[in-house]
Homo-oligomer: A and B are copies of this chain.
Amino acid sequence: MSTIAKNQNPESNARVKAVFDDIRATRRSDFINNMWHYLAFDTDLLENTWAEVKAVMATPSALDPLTKEMLYIAVSVTNGCGYCAHSHTAAAKAKGMAADQHADLLRVISLAAKTNQLATALQVPVDPVFDADHRP
């Protein structure tokens, strides 16, 4: 069930084909997951989204690729995005996330949600020392 019909022949559009080709080359895999098939309803949206995902997630940066996937999972789960929880958990496993790392990830993100509730319920005032603008 989706809100946009899946394009049955997306690569007949040259710009879509170029994005799909780049996804395949970047990931070294023939598999194009549904996210990209559905985004293909608007070529600009597809191109810009892929360009950003590639720049942030598939380009060497200050954080390693697995850490970035786990952060992606943390946000996706907190936002309740089922599709994203699935796709990024699969990606994290493909990048080597072991079972004990997966369990640790779940421990941290569920504990964070728990203490977020406590801090918000108590409306705990921010300690002045945490203010970066006024730290000595």
What residues of chain A have their CB less than 8 Å away from a CB belonging to chain B?
1-6, 31, 33-35, 38-39, 41-42, 44-45, 49, 52-53, 56-57, 61-63, 67-68, 70-90, 98-127, 129-133, 135
Partner of A132, one of B2, B67, B78: B2
Tally of this chain's copies: 6
- Smallest Cβ distance from A136 to chain B, in angstroms? 11
- Smallest Cβ distance from A63 to chain B, in angstroms? 5
Within the assembled complex, what's the spacing in Å between the Cα atoms of A72 and B121? 12
Partner of A105, one of B5, B53, B63, B85: B63
Query: Would you call the interface of chain A mostly helix, strand, loop, or mixed?
Result: helix
Docked-complex contact B70 and A71, CB < 8 angstroms? yes
Docked-complex contact A85 and B3, CB < 8 angstroms? yes
Docked-complex contact A57 and B108, CB < 8 angstroms? yes
Within the assembled complex, what's the spacing in Å between the Cα atoms of A74 and B93? 20
* Given contacts A56-B107, A104-B61, A109-B121, A41 and B99 within 8 Å (CB-CB): yes
A122: nearest chain-B partner, CB-CB = B38
Query: What residues of B have a CB within 8 angstroms of the CB of A49 in the complex?
Result: 114-115, 118
Partner of A62, one of B73, B101, B113: B101
A45: nearest chain-B partner, CB-CB = B103
Query: What residues of B have a CB within 8 angstroms of the CB of A116 in the complex?
Result: 75-76, 79, 81, 84, 113
